[in-house]
Structure 1
Amino acid sequence: MPGLITFGLTSLPALIVGLSATGETRDGRDGGHGSAMAGIVISGLQVAGWVLFWGLYMAGSAWTSCWS
């Protein structure tokens, strides 16, 4: 899970590369379609997790500053 160590900086490029690879392997002539789909799912979950984390962090910061 390099996305946890790099704070999600590798997740977005991995999602883009996975989407590109899915388009290239869709016709069945090249292998790796399953790996591309797995990359999309894993990196998509990491991107969603980091967006959720930072959204909650910002909301918590705003909530805390309102009551201080």
Structure 2
Amino acid sequence: MAYTVIWLRGPLPLGTKTFDDLGAATSYAEENLADVQTQFNATAVKIVDDEGTPHYLKAISRNP
């Protein structure tokens, strides 16, 4: 099963990256939170599987 990391600014998707492993997708999302928020003003990140089922959702604070 594939897991897709989706970066969001409000309801709008900013970009995606797909992984074969949920652990790898989660690590990637957590490691890049600050950079994506700073560069693109992202407000959240979520991970969904092939069927669209959410597995991870985190709002990004504007005041780290």
TM-score by length of 1: 0.34
Bigger strand share: 2
Tell which structure's C-alpha radius of gyration is larger: 1
Bigger helix share: 1
TM-score by length of 2: 0.36
